[in-house]
Each structure stands twice: as C-alpha cells, then as structure tokens.
Structure 1
Amino acid sequence: MIGGPLQAAVDAQVASSMATVNFINAVGFVEEDGKKTLVMVDFTHERNDVSDTGSAINKKVYVKVPLLAMLPIPSLRIEHVIIDFNAKLNSVESSTVSDALGVSAEVKGGWGPVSFKVSASYQRKSVTGIEVKKEFALNVNVKAVQDEMPGGLEKILGMLAA
C-alpha cells in the first residue's frame, strides 16, 4: 500500500522529464533534409539613433532569437511526497449459552387400566462468534513545482541567444 504511491511519484517524475524533452524537440526544432534545425524568430524594428556627427538617423534593427529562448520550458519536479497510512481494527468476541428443559406428562384413565406417560428433554445451545471490523485509510499528498532550468540547457540557450 505504501510502495504504490511512491512508485507512482517516481514514474511521474520520469514522465515529466520525458515531456520536457518532447516539448523541446517538438517546439524548438524542425527537421529539414534529414537534419534538425533550430526554430528561430526574426524581429525587425526601426530605431531613432544619433550618428557620430550628432545628426539623427533612422536605423533598422534585425534580431534573430531562438523560439525556445522565448518560451517557458515545462519542467515539473516533485518537491515532496507525504504518505499517511491509518489502520483501525476492531475485534469483538461474543459467547452465548442457552439451556432449555422440557417436561411433559400425560395420564390416561377410564374403565380400564390407567396409563401414564412422561417425557423429558434437555437442550443446551452454545454460540460463539468473532466479529472483526477493519478500516484502512491511505492519504497521499504530492507537491509538484516548476523546476529551475537545468544548468546545461540554460547555457545552451544563452549561447543560442548571443
């Protein structure tokens, strides 16, 4: 009961890492002629600047940025897992004994001989029972947070953006 949620947390962490890899491959790269190429976004804008002589000039600025540098990369990390396990067992044992005594008598008379009939019975009944009630509760609390970008990925994106 306790190992199952813990294994599920480990599996979720692996699935999260694979989702990050799949996101980077699906969004950040495009395949052209059998080669993976980084997806770039081009920006162009005009800027007013001052020339060396002090006169105003209008410059066109071109910026090329990797798409991955502009997006938050999903990277979830399980910060902690709390597993609470509660068990409650109730056991009740009961025993009942009952006695029953039965006596009957019958007398017949008339002109002839008298007949007399007596019967007796005794019955003892014993019942023993055990009742067990079980109650289990499992509470799993998982906290996942957006993880920091891995150092290697941060350096690669920094080189691409430069």
Structure 2
Amino acid sequence: MIGGPLQAAVDAQVASSLATVNFINSVGFVEDDGKKTLVMVDFSHERKDVKEDGSPLVKSVAVKVPLLAMLPIPSLRIEHVIIDFNAKLNSVESNTVSDALGVNAEVKAGWGPVSFKVSASYQRKSVTGVEVKKEFALNVNVKAVQDEMPGGLEKILGLLSA
C-alpha cells in the first residue's frame, strides 16, 4: 500500500528526466548527414548611431543565439510526496445457544393393568456468527515543481551563446 505510490513517484521522476532529454534532442538539435548540430536563431537589426562629428551612422548588428537558450526547458521535480493510510476494522462476534426440553406423559388406568407412557425430548441449538467490516483509505498527495536548469546545461548554453 505504501510502496506503490512511492514507486510511482520514482517512475514519474525518471519519466520527467527522459522527457527533458527528448525535448532537448528534438527541439535543440537537427541531424544533417549523421551529425547533430545546434539549432541557432539569427537576429539582425540596424542601429542608428551618431558619429563624433554629429553625422548619422547606421550600423548593422547581428546576433546568433541557441534556440534552447530562449525556451523554458521542461524539467519537473517531485518536491514532496505525502501518503496517508487509514484503516478501520470492526469485528462483531455473536454466539446464541437455545435449549428446548419436551416431556410428554400419558397414563391409562381402568379395571385392569395400568398403562404408563412417557416420552422426552431435548434439543440444543447453537448459532455462532462473525461479522467483520473493513474500511481502507489511501490518500496520495504529490507536489511537482519546475526544477532549476542543471548547472552543467546552464554552463554549456552560456558557452554556446558567447
């Protein structure tokens, strides 16, 4: 009962890490002739400046940035898992015993021999019952947050953008 949700949380963390790797590979790189190259985004604009003598100067500025540096990379981290397990067992046992005694007597008398007849019966009845009520509740509360970019990835993207 407790191990199942914990194993599910670990599996979810592994799946999240693999999804991050797949995202980086599918969005950040293109394959060309068997080589993976980083997807770059080119920005260019013209900047108007003023020379020292006051005349206008138009400069063309170009910037090349890795696409991955501009996108939020999905990286979920399970921050905490709370597992509440409640069990309620009710057990009722009943035992009933009943006795019944029956006696019949018959006497015949007259001018001759006396006839006497007696019959007896005894009956004992025993009933035993057990009733068990079970109630279980399992509440799992998982909080996942966007994790910070791993330090190694941050350094690599910094080197690529420089």
The TM-score bracket by the shorter chain reads: 0.7 to 0.9
SS at match of 2:16: helix
The answer for the alignment partner of 1:71 in structure 2 is 71
- Residue segments in structure 2 that go unaligned for 5+ positions in a row: none
Deviation string 1:62-89 (CA, Å, 9 cap, x unpaired) is: 1111100000000000000111111111
Q: Distance in 2 between matches of 1:106 and 1:62?
A: 127
Distance, in Å, in 1 between the alignment partners of 2:106 and 2:156 is 111
Write out per-residue CA displacement over residues 5-61 of structure 1, whole angstroms, 9 at most, x where no aligned residue: 111111111111111000000000000011000001111222211224332222222
Q: Which residue of 2 aligns with 1:131?
A: 131
Please tell me the residue identity of whatever aligns with 1:14. V
Partner of 1:57: 57
Equivalent residue number for residue 89 of structure 1: 89
Q: Distance in 1 between matches of 2:105 and 2:40?
A: 112
The letter of the residue matching 1:31 is: E
Q: Which runs of 5+ in 1 are unaligned?
A: none
Name 1:7's counterpart in structure 2.
7
Asked if residue 157 in structure 1 is aligned to residue 160 in structure 2, the reply is no
The 2-side partners of 1:152 and 1:51 are apart by 43
Alignment partner, residue 41 of structure 1: 41
- RMSD, matched Cα: 2.2
Q: CA deviation at 1:118?
A: 4.9
- SS of 1:154's partner is helix
Alpha-carbon distance in structure 2 between the residues aligned to 1:59 and 1:117? 136
Shift in CA distance, 118/161, structure 1 to aligned 2, threshold 3 Å: same
Which AA in structure 2 matches 1:149? M
- Report the number of matched residues: 160
What displacement does 1:103 show?
4.3
